[in-house]
Structure 1
Amino acid sequence: MSSDTYMQSPVCLIENTQKGKLVINEEALQLLSNINETVVVVSVVGFYRTGKSYLMNRLAGKTHGFSLGSTVQSHTKGIWMWCMPHPKKHNHCLVLLDTEGLGDIEKGDQKNDCWIFSLAVLLSSMFVYNSMGTIDQYAVEKLHFISNLTELIKVKSNEGDDDDDEELDLLKISPAFVWTVRDFTLELKINGQDVTADEYLNHGLQLKKGFSRKVLEHNQPRECIRNYFRSRKCFVFVQPTTSSNLNQVEKLPESQLDPKFVDMCHEFYQYIHLESQPKTIKGGHRINGRKLAILAKTYVETIASGMVPCIEDAVSSMAKIENTAALKDGLAHYKQQMDLIMKIPSETEELAKMHTQCRKEAIDLFMRRSFNDQDQAYYKQMVADVQAHYLELCGKNEAASMEACTNLLETLSTEMEEKLREGLYAQPGGYRVYEEDRQKMILQFHSAPGKGNKAEDALNKFMKRKTPEADSVLQADRMLTDKDRELAAEQQRVTEAKQETKAQEEAVKTLEKMRDNERMFHQESVKHLKLKMEEEKENLQREQKIALESKLREQKELAEKEFTMKAEMMEEQIKALKGQHESDDSISKYERIARIAQSFLETMVNAYSSHKTLKLLAKK
C-alpha cells in the first residue's frame, strides 16, 4: 500500500445529513479508489454510547482516530473509514468502518438506522455487533435490524427467484458475524456448567419449537443470524475501568485498565486480524479498494433514489465499469508500448514480434482487471481493437517503407540521371555501361538498412518507371545489332518479371506472417480464457465451500441440540417409568418390566436415529 494512500486518520465515507439522507463523500471515495490491494473490510455496528469506536481505534493500532465522544449523544455520524496496510496479510489493505450509533433519540429515524446497518453488512467481510450487558431476549430483540435484511437487501434482480436460493446466495457473500458484549458482569455458566463465550452466544440464539406468533417472533432474529452470516464468534468484555473513568478510557494507559478487559481486547484484536477474510462479491471475486468504492457509491445512490440495494445489480454495474476500464487500459498500454518500441519503417517479422509482445502485455493487463465478462464480450472487443490498431500501424509502416525506399532509389539513381543528361549512355557501348550502373545501384539499394517491408515492391515500381529510359538507351547504342537489341530487351523483360515476382513474394510473406501470428494468438487466447475460467471456477468453488461449511456447521449444531434434547426427554421418561414401577402394585412384575422395556426401546431408537444423522453430517 503506497504511503500516499495510507490514512493517518479516519475520513467520513458516507455522510448522514441532518435530513437523514445518506450521501457518498467523493473525496473519501477517491482515496478508496486509489487502493489497488485486496481489501479486508471490518465494520462495527451497535447502539450509541456502547464503545464501538474504542475497539476500532485499537484495531488500527491507535488510541485515537475514530471519535469516541464522552456524552450521551451519538458522536459518529454516517459511516467513517480508516484504511491501512493489513497487519497480518501481505499485500492486503485493512479497511475499518465505524458506523453511526443506532437508536439515537435525537435522530428518531429507525429507517435511517436500518440503512446504516444494511450498508455495513453489504460492505464488510467481518461484521462486528457491539452491545452492552448480556445476550438475552431484550438484546436479541434490539437486533431487529437483522430481521429486516431481506427487505433491505435484494440478492437478485429477478423478483421470481426462489427465496431459498436468495438466502443461500446472500450467505455466500455475507460477512462473518462477531458479537462483542461490553460491561459483562455475569459468570459464563449455563445450568451450572462453565461455557465459552461462543457457547454462550449459541445458547442465546437457540430456537424454540412451535409455530405460534410468540415463537416466530422469538426465532426470527436468531434464524437470520444463523442463516445470513457465514460464521459466528463472541467476545465478552468486563468493564474497562471504574465508572468515574469510563468517559476517559481512551486516554488511560493499559496499566490503569482492568487486566481482564485488556486480555480480552488483545484476544479480540488477534482474532480480527487473523480471521478476517478479503471482501468478496458474488462469484467469489476478491475485490480491491477501487471496486469497494464502486459498491459503496452504487448502494448509497440506490438508497437515495428510494430503491432497495440489489447485490446482483451492483455487481453488474461494477463489472461494466471495471471491464470498460480494463478494455481502455489494455488498449492504451498496447498503443503506448508500440509507440515506444516501434521503429518506422520496420521489417514484417520485427513488427510482428513487437505486436505479439505488446498484445500479450495488454491482454494480461485486461485479464487482471476484468471479471464477469459475459460471453467474453469485452475480451473480444479488446482483441478486435488491438487488431484494428495493429492493421493501422501496418498500413503506416508500409507507407513509410514505400516512401523511404522510393527516396533511397531516387538518391541512388542520381549519378545515372547525370550521365543520362550528359549523353554518356548515348554512344557505342552505352547500354552495357547503363546496365552495369543499374545493377550497381540495385546492389547498393539491397544492402542499405532500414528499408522496411516494401523494399521489393518499391524497387519493382521504380524499375517499371525506368523501363522507357532503358529502352531508349538500348535503341541508341549503335554497336548493337538488331539481334543484340532483341536479346537485351528480352533480358530486361525477364529481369522486370523476376522483380515483380519478388514483390509478390514479399507481399505473400507479410500475409503469411500475419496469418501465423493470428494462429499463435488464437492458441494463446484459448489458454488465456481457460486460465480465466479456471480462476473464476476456483472463486465459485471457494464461495460454495464457505456457504456449505456454514450450513453444515449449523446443521450439525442443530442435530447435536436435537440429540441432547431427546436424551433429556429419554431420561425424564425413564424416571417417570420408574415412578410408575414403584407405585403401580396392581400390574404384575413382568408386565411392568415389559412396558418399561418397550418404552425405553422406542426412546432409544429415536435417540439412535438422531445420533446416526449427526455422525453422517460429521462425515460429510
Structure 2
Amino acid sequence: MNADTYMQSPMCLIENTQHGKLVIKEDALLLLSNIKETVVVVSVVGFYRTGKSYLLNRLAGKTQGFSLGSTVQSHTKGIWMWCRPHPKKYNHCLVLLDTEGLGDVEKSDEKNDCWIFSLAVLLSSTFVYNSVGTIDQYAVDKLHFISNLTELIKVKSNEGDDDGDDEELDLLKISPAFVWTVRDFTLELKINGQVVTADDYLNHGLQLKKGVSKKVMEHNQPRQCIRNYFRSRKCFVFVQPTASSNLNQVENLAESQLDPKFVDVCHEFCEYIYLESQPKRIKGGHKINGRKLAILAKGYVETIASGMVPCIEDAVTSMAKIENTAALAESLAHYQQQMALRVKIPTDTEELAKMNTLYWKEAIELFMKNSFNDQDQVYYKQLLANVQRHYLELCDKNEAVSMEMSTKLLETLSTEIGKKLREGFYTRPGGYELYKEDRQEVIRQFRSTPGKGNKAEEALSKFMQQKTPEADSVLQADKMLTDTDKKLAAARQRAAEAGQEAKAQEEAMKSLEKLREDEKIIYEENVKYLKLKMEGEREDLQREQALALDSKLKEQKELLEKGFANNAQMMEEQIESLKKQQDSATNWEKIAKMTQGLLESAIDAYTSHKTMSLLARK
C-alpha cells in the first residue's frame, strides 16, 4: 500500500452535522481516491455504547484508534474511516468503517439512523451488526432498519417494470456478507439441551413462525429481510471482556488482563474477517479500488443530502462515466507521450509503424485494465478513433518534416552547382558532362546522408524536375555536342527523372501498404484484448449470479427442513430466474467487427486521399 494512503489513525469520511445533515469530507475523500489497490470494506453498525469501535481497532491491529468513549454519549458521529494494508491479501486495502451509534437519544430524527445504516450496507463488502446481550425478539426488533432497506435503497433507476422478486434478487447480488456479533453474552450455547455453534444460535434466532396473523408477520418481517437481502450469515458471541469496573478502560488493558474466552473469540473474529471478507464489488461483479469507492460514497451522500433515495444503478453509471473518461484520457496520453519520446521525426515508415503498433498495444491494455461498464463500448471507440487520428497526423507530420529536411539538404548540396552556373563554369565545350558529374555527386551525397525520412525519394524527384530547365540550358550551350548527342542526352535525362518519379511513387505506395499491414496487426491485438476483457466480465457476472443462486438454494433447503413448504415453493421462481439468466456481457466478436470497421474507415479515408495525390502527380 502506498505510504501516502497509509493511515496511522481514523478520520471522518461522512460527517453528521448538528442539524442532522450528512456531508462528505473532502480530505478523507482525497485520501481514499489515492488508493489504487482493491478494497475490502468492513463496516460495523450497532447501537451506541455496544463496543463497535473496539472490534474495529482489533481489525486494524491496534488497541486504540477509533474512539471507544467511556460515557453514555455517542462518541462517533457520522462514519469514520481507517485504511490499512490488508494483513492477509496482497495488493489489497482493508477499509474499516465505524458508524455512528444507532438510537442516540440526542437525535430528534430517526431517519438519520436509517441513512447511516443504508450507507453502511451500500459501501461495505462485509456488514457487521454489533449488539449486546442475546439474539431475542427485542434484539431483532431493533434491526427494523433492515425492513426498510428497499425504501432506503433503489437498485435500478427505473423500477416501474420490476416486481418485488426482481428487486430482491438485484439487492441480493450486490449486498455485503452479514456478520452478527453479540457482546456480553452470558448464556450457554445450547438449544433444546444440545450444544450448538454461534451460527446455529443465529439461525435459531432468525427462525420464521408459521401463520398469517399480524403478530406473526411482525415477527417474521425483519428475519425474512435478513434472509433475503444478505447472501451469507455468520455469528460470533463474546463474553464480557473483563470485570465491569474496567470496561471503560478496555483499550488500555493487555490481553492477559482480559477474559481468555473473549480474547479467543476476538482472534477468531479477526481471522474470519481477514480471510473470508471479499473485495467490494459493484453490480456485475466488478471489484473496485479506493478511487471508485470514493466516487460511490460521494454520490450516495450527495443524493441523500438532496432528499432523494440513493440508486445503485445511477451511482455505478456515474462512476463508470468518471472512470472511463479518465481511462480514455490516460490511455491516449500514454500513447501520445511514448510516441513523442520514442519517435524521432523524420523516420522511415517501418520504424514509425513499429512504434505505433507497440504503443497502441500498450494504450489498449491500459484502457482495458482501468475501464469498466463501457456500455456499447462508447469510450473504447473514442480511444480507437483518437489514437488512429493522432497516428495519421503523425504520419502527415513525418512526411512534411521529411520533405522539408530533404529539400533543404538538396539545396545545400547543390549550392556549389549554383555558384558555378553564375560564374559560367559550365559554358564551355564539355560543360554538360561536368554539370552532370556534379549533379550526380549531389545525388550520391544526398542518398548517403541518413535520417531523411520517408519522403527522400519524392524530394529528389521534385529536385530533378525543378533542375530540368537548368540542365537543358547547360546541354544546349555545350558546343562540343552535336544535335543528335543533345537529343540523346535530353532523352536520358527525362528517363532518369521518370525513373526517380517511379521510385518516389513506389516509396509512397509502400507507406500506404504498411498502413494496411499495421491495421491488421492492431485489429488482431484489439480482438485479443477485447476477448480477455469480455471473458473477465463474464466471469465476474457468473460469480455474482452463482453466489446469489447458492444463497437462495441454501435458504430454500432450510425452509423445507423447518416445514415452510409454501415459502420454499414461492422461492422456486427466483431460483429458476437465476438459473436462466444469461450472461449479459457484450459479445466480443461483435465488438471486434466494429473495431475492424472503425480502423478500416479511418485508413480508407487516409489512403484514398494519398492515392488521389499520387494519381494527380502522374
Structure-2-length-normalised TM-score: 0.91
Shift of 1:364: 1.0
1:527 is aligned to: 528
Pairing 1:372–2:370 present: no
What's the counterpart of residue 392 of structure 2? Answer: 391
Gaps of 5+ in 1: 567-605
Partner of residue 445, structure 1: 446
> What is the distance in 2 between the residues matched to 1:438 and 1:212?
109
CA displacement at 1:162 relative to structure 2: 2.6
Identify the residue that residue 492 of structure 1 maps to in structure 2: 493
Residue by residue, what CA displacement relative to the aligned partner does 1:358-392 show, whole Å, maximum 9, x if unpaired? 11111111111100111111001001001111112
Q: Report if the CA contact (8 A) 2:360-2:522 is conserved.
A: no
Query: Residue type matched to 1:255 in 2?
Result: S
Measure the CA separation in 2 of the matches of 1:166 and 1:518: 46
* In 2, Cα distance between equivalents of 1:279 and 1:26: 21
The aligned residue for residue 269 of structure 1 is 270
1:252 is aligned to: 253
- Measured on the aligned residues, the alpha-carbon RMSD in Å equals 1.7
Q: Does 1:140 align with 2:163?
A: no
Report deviation, 1:505. Answer: 1.1
CA distance in 2, matches of 1:522, 1:166: 41
Take 2:500 and 2:168, find their aligned partners in 1: how far apart are those partners? 75
Is 1:59 equivalent to 2:48 in the alignment? no
* Counterpart residue number, 2:350: 349
**Number of the residue aligned with 1:297:** 298
Deviations 1:157-204 (A, max 9, x none): 112223212211111111000000000011111111111110000000
Q: Which amino acid aligns with 1:416?
A: I
Larger Rg: 1
CA distances 1:61-106 after superposition (whole Å, capped 9, x unpaired): 0011000110000000000000011000011000000000000000
Output the CA distance in 2 between the equivalents of 1:211 and 1:390: 71
Overall identity of the aligned pairs, in %: 79
TM-superposed deviation, 1:132: 0.5
Structure 1: distance between partners of 2:263 and 2:100 = 25
**Which amino acid letter does the alignment assign opposite residue 558 of structure 1?**
L
Deviation track 1:17-58 (CA, whole Å, cap 9, x = no partner) reads: 000000000110000000000000000000000000000001
Task: For 1:157 and 1:179, locate their aligned partners in 2 and report how far apart those are by CA, in whole Å.
Answer: 31
Deviation by residue 1:489-540 (Cα, 9 ceiling, x = unmatched): 1111111111111111111111111111112211221222111111100110
* Correspondence for 1:204: 205
Aligned match of 2:585: none
| SS of residue in 2 equivalent to 1:42 | strand
The answer to whether the Cα contact below 8 Å between 2:12 and 2:79 also exists between their aligned partners in 1 is: yes
| Higher mean displacement: 425-434 or 62-71 | 425-434
- Partner residue in 1 for 2:128: 128
Alpha-carbon distance in structure 2 between the residues aligned to 1:403 and 1:388 = 22
Corresponding residue of 1:382: 383
Matches of 2:406 and 2:144 in 1, distance apart?
A: 81
Q: Which residue of 2 aligns with 1:597?
A: none
Contact map agreement 2:152 2:309 (CA 8 A) in 1: yes
- Match for 2:551: what amino acid? S
Is the contact between residue 454 and residue 507 of structure 2 (CA under 8 Å) also seen in structure 1?
A: yes
Looking at structure 1, the residues matched to 233 and 278 of structure 2 have their Cα atoms a distance apart, in angstroms, of 14
Q: Cα deviations across residues 122-152 of structure 1 (Å, max 9, x unaligned)? A: 0000000000000000000000000010000
Matching of residue 29 in structure 1 with residue 19 in structure 2: no
Q: How does 1:459-608 map to 2 (within 5 A)?
A: 459-562=460-563
The whole-number CA distance in structure 2 between the counterparts of 1:92 and 1:474 is 81
CA distance in 1: counterparts of 2:272 and 2:562, whole angstroms: 27
Amino acid across the alignment from 1:546: L
Q: Which residue of 1 aligns with 2:81?
A: 81
Deviation at 1:554, TM superposition (A): 1.1
Question: How far off is 1:403 after superposition?
Answer: 1.0
Q: Which amino acid aligns with 2:318?
A: S
Aligned twin of 1:113: 113
After superposition, the C-alpha distances for 1:565-601 in whole angstroms (9 at most, x for unaligned) are 99xxxxxxxxxxxxxxxxxxxxxxxxxxxxxxxxxxx
Identify the residue that residue 42 of structure 2 maps to in structure 1: 42
State the shift of 1:211 in Å.
Answer: 1.7
* CA distance, structure 2, for counterparts of residue 84 and residue 249 of structure 1: 22
Q: C-alpha distance in 2, partners of 1:183/1:483?
A: 120
Per the alignment, residue 219 of structure 2 pairs with: 218
Name the CA distance, whole Å, in 1 between partners of 2:557 and 2:326. 45
Greater Cα offset, 230-239 or 437-446: 437-446
Partner of 1:97: 97
Give me the whole-angstrom Cα distance separating, in 2, the residues matched to 1:215 and 1:349: 79
Aligned to 1:577: none
CA distance in 2, matches of 1:543, 1:373: 19
C-alpha separation between the residues in 2 aligned to 1:162 and 1:522? 43
Which residue matches 1:234? 235
Q: Give the whole-Å Cα distance in 2 for the aligned partners of 1:217 and 1:464.
A: 97
SS for the counterpart of 1:363 is helix
Instruction: Quote the offset at 1:222 in angstroms.
Output: 0.4
SS at match of 2:130: strand
State how far apart, in whole Å, the 2-side matches of 1:544 and 1:443 are.
72
How far apart are the structure 2 equivalents of 1:175 and 1:480?
98
Q: Show the counterpart of 2:175.
A: 174
For residue 3 of structure 2, what is the aligned residue in structure 1?
3
